[in-house]
A and B are shown apart, each in its own frame.
Chain A
């Protein structure tokens, strides 16, 4: 007997593995399923941290209001990873009924044919989409058809340290500043603080370059940024982007420009620099406002994204993510998904969402709610991003770039920004960028069989 005794342990282990492999699923999901007769709508999202908590409030609110549907939220990791998971699990039991996919994946999602256009549900339901911010809607629309519904939405805005400006007697920039307005403030801040405070920074982030072009009313690619056909050629080498970079270079030469580099660390570092009063002006997503308002001793000032001199601002595109409905679920589940989208866009829900996270409320009626009125009373400057969103009239150039391979494009743009910030020739860098994006577009379009 004793010689078999020692075999017991490995046997148990093998059995344990087999048991877990077979029953792991029931074990792992048991605690989650609450038995009720409502139709289950699986919702995939990428909101981590405090934003996830705010999102759970929306989901709970929906579930409490419903007798027919029950939304099951599931966090999926980063925006990028989630796209792959959505595409790879389509048609399996694990796939979601409604999911959150980020701005630059819009073209990829649309071309995947894995989704039902939200427009179909809007038409059937008679939902009044005009209440929802037009510039946000146009980002996820194609051929006049709403493909997805914008959800967490932000726009780039310019933040300035109002306390520092007051201290040095500098006139604040206007609410929609031109490049030279910002240059003036940045230079004055740098000079009057005796070079203790840097005037401004613009992070090496492709999104900001794209927004500079959007605000000048020019496209990044042909076919009107992909809104009238598949993009085949990049057009970054244009006067608007040159003007944007010359603006940065002018400030670099004056010494008031601070370069924090690229990547997530750069974002954190510039926020820290701004909160510490080491840099006076920076451009960042309007969603950062919740971070800047947390125990910030300095007064915060906000303006629109700056525009080229002597031109009217065209308005910037939105960023963030939208809610899409998958087409691999039964009709009843799809309807439940749309009910959830409708709920998430209610004026009060959107207002609370803006207050909690800093993402902009998309429903026009949200501005009249007591929640946002209270917020504006407490932080008057937080009204500025909402105004910027409302004022923008959508056109092809401020509705995002409907192009696949945007992740790669961002990298190429950042490479150009880096070389220009380090003193490289602007025109050459932009020409090089166009060429690299063209190459990438040719490969992507060929791989997708578009020509």
Chain B
């Protein structure tokens, strides 16, 4: 018996050693980032990372000297609307692909998937022309309208909806529910976890988008946060790296919040079952 224990202990030690090592590799750059956000720029420039000159000045500067709050507000509006739009439109189309019968269903689904193969950067020029023709430039909607739906979201929810037990659908049919009722009362609650995952994914995607917003926004009033971060850097002259780092830290906070909230729901969702 003792032998087995010893082996287990060794195994555990090895496992934890490996896990700690990986955690260090992944977390250290993150912590260096957070740490430097408290340092004055002069120390950062000289590579003096162990300076004890720490203060909150960089954070205060970021909030008072830059329009970062406005950018945060803009981004929250854009990301939230994009997220809800994805949830609504993707779940509706996924429902159609799973529970409705119509001609050329496979063909249309394939069409959907093809758009997923194309990176969104490839569609930038036609999208820009469209948005320009619609007169939406420098507008929240220029960032929202082109990304109201997502082929990936439809695909993901379709795979999830397909797992919905047949019995549920049959029971709902017997109850005499129509499609909208089944969609709203049966399918969506049952697939709550997938919806939350997609929601978090969409929110983060919109939060982190950089290229498209920088092309279609032209003023500080509509600028989103990732572009705002770029604005804090000058091209050739002096840069206040401490403040830039502090702003980057501020920008990360909402994404971490979303992940934590998402994770909480994810856990509680696992414990419930619709079919016993």
- Pairwise interchain contact B234-A81, C-beta atoms closer than 8 A: no
Q: Give how many A-B residue pairs fall within 8 Å (CB-CB).
A: 145
Q: Which of A76-92 contact B (CB under 8 A)?
A: 76-79, 81, 84-85, 88-89, 92
Does residue A10 face the partner (Cβ distance < 8 Å to B)? yes
Which residue of chain B has the shortest Cβ distance to A278 in the bound complex?
B47
CB distance from B30 to the nearest CB of A (A): 18
Q: Which of B212-239 contact A (CB under 8 A)?
A: 214-215, 218-223, 227, 230-239
Does residue B159 face the partner (Cβ distance < 8 Å to A)? no
Q: Mark B184-221, 1 if CB is under 8 A from A, else 0.
A: 11000000000000000000000000000011001111
- Pairwise interchain contact B77-A20, C-beta atoms closer than 8 A: yes
Which residue of chain B has the shortest Cβ distance to A85 in the bound complex?
B215
- Pairwise interchain contact A47-B144, C-beta atoms closer than 8 A: no
- Pairwise interchain contact B231-A52, C-beta atoms closer than 8 A: yes
Q: Is the interface on chain A under 10, 10 to 19, 20 to 34, or 35 or more residues?
A: 35 or more
Does residue B181 face the partner (Cβ distance < 8 Å to A)? yes
CA A10 – CA B135 in complex, angstroms?
A: 26
CA A115 – CA B232 in complex, angstroms?
A: 29
- CB contacts (< 8 Å) of A310 on chain B: these are none
- Pairwise interchain contact A51-B88, C-beta atoms closer than 8 A: no
Q: Which of B123-146 contact A (CB under 8 A)?
A: 128, 132, 135-141, 144-145
Which residue of chain A has the shortest Cβ distance to B223 in the bound complex?
A75
Does residue A112 face the partner (Cβ distance < 8 Å to B)? no
- Given contacts A50-B234, A50-B238, is CB(A13)–CB(B85) below 8 Å? yes
Does residue B245 face the partner (Cβ distance < 8 Å to A)? no
- Pairwise interchain contact B237-A29, C-beta atoms closer than 8 A: no
Does residue B106 face the partner (Cβ distance < 8 Å to A)? no
- Given contacts A13-B88, A275-B45, A291-B45, is CB(A21)–CB(B234) below 8 Å? no
- CB contacts (< 8 Å) of A34 on chain B: these are none
Q: Which of B47-68 contact A (CB under 8 A)?
A: 47, 65
CB distance from B184 to the nearest CB of A (A): 6
Does residue A94 face the partner (Cβ distance < 8 Å to B)? yes
CB distance from B229 to the nearest CB of A (A): 10
CA A84 – CA B227 in complex, angstroms?
A: 16
Which among A185-193, A282-290, A363-371, A398-406 touches the partner chain? A282-290
- Pairwise interchain contact A47-B45, C-beta atoms closer than 8 A: no
- Pairwise interchain contact B85-A24, C-beta atoms closer than 8 A: no
- Pairwise interchain contact A20-B221, C-beta atoms closer than 8 A: no
CA A13 – CA B47 in complex, angstroms?
A: 49
Q: Which of A17, A25, A49, A154 contacts B138 (CB 8 A)?
A: A25
Which residue of chain B has the shortest Cβ distance to A92 in the bound complex?
B132
Q: Mark A46-64, 1 if CB is under 8 A from B, else 0.
A: 1111111100000000000
- Given contacts A13-B88, A74-B219, A74-B220, is CB(A48)–CB(B137) below 8 Å? no
- Pairwise interchain contact B81-A17, C-beta atoms closer than 8 A: yes
- Pairwise interchain contact A287-B236, C-beta atoms closer than 8 A: yes
CB distance from A390 to the nearest CB of B (A): 20
- Pairwise interchain contact B240-A50, C-beta atoms closer than 8 A: yes
- Pairwise interchain contact A84-B42, C-beta atoms closer than 8 A: no
- Pairwise interchain contact A89-B84, C-beta atoms closer than 8 A: no
Chain B contact residue count (CB 8 A cutoff): 49
- Pairwise interchain contact A92-B137, C-beta atoms closer than 8 A: yes
Q: Which residue of A10, A75, A287, A291 has the most chain B CB atoms within 10 A of its CB atom?
A: A75
- Pairwise interchain contact B220-A75, C-beta atoms closer than 8 A: yes
- CB contacts (< 8 Å) of B135 on chain A: these are 93
Q: Which of A8-62 contact B (CB under 8 A)?
A: 10, 13-14, 16-17, 20-21, 24-25, 27-29, 31-32, 44, 46-53
- CB contacts (< 8 Å) of B220 on chain A: these are 32, 74-75
Q: Which of B77, B180, B185, B233 contacts A48 (CB 8 A)?
A: B233
- Pairwise interchain contact A46-B235, C-beta atoms closer than 8 A: yes
Does residue A194 face the partner (Cβ distance < 8 Å to B)? no
CA A184 – CA B235 in complex, angstroms?
A: 33
Q: Which of A265-291 contact B (CB under 8 A)?
A: 271-272, 275-276, 285, 287-288, 290-291
Given contacts A20-B140, A49-B238, A357-B237, 20 further A-B contacts (CB under 8 A): A20-B81, A20-B141, A21-B139, A21-B144, A28-B138, A31-B221, A44-B218, A49-B234, A49-B239, A75-B220, A76-B218, A77-B214, A77-B231, A78-B230, A94-B138, A94-B218, A154-B236, A285-B236, A294-B41, A294-B42
A/B interface sample: 5 pairs, CB < 8 A: A20-B144, A21-B140, A49-B231, A74-B218, A287-B237
A residues near B (Cβ < 8 Å) are 3, 6-7, 10, 13-14, 16-17, 20-21, 24-25, 27-29, 31-32, 44, 46-53, 74-79, 81, 84-85, 88-89, 92-94, 154, 271-272, 275-276, 285, 287-288, 290-291, 294-295, 319-320, 357-359
